Amino acid sequence: MPDVVRLFLLIILWEPDDRITQSIYEVPICPEHGMLAEQFRPRQESGQIKSWVAYCLPAKFEFLKGRNI
């Protein structure tokens, strides 16, 4: 069985009450930083969030030989 690579988008928000929240999504392609900034900058400017960061990461899943997915 060949290895499988999937892309995941991790979004971390710093909330006004100092909580940190995170979300992770499987994505077909990594979004451009500018597109994400368009979504989060207005929330930051309005005070809904203090700050944000996003990472798009590949995850390589390896399987044992002879095992099906």
Condensed to tens digits (0 to 9), the pLDDT of residues 3-51 reads 899 999 999 999 999 999 999 999 999 999 999 999 999 999 999 999 9
The residue to which tokens 């990461």 are assigned: 57
Residue 63: pLDDT over 90? no
Q: Look at residue 24 in the predicted model and tell me its pLDDT.
A: 98
The mean per-residue pLDDT over the stretch 57-69 comes to 84
pTM of the predicted protein model: 0.83
The string of DSSP letters for 1-56 reads: ---EEEEEEEEEEE-TTS-EEEEEEEESSPPPHHHHHHHHHHHHHTTS-SEEEEEE
Q: What residues form DSSP beta bridges with 8?
A: 26, 57
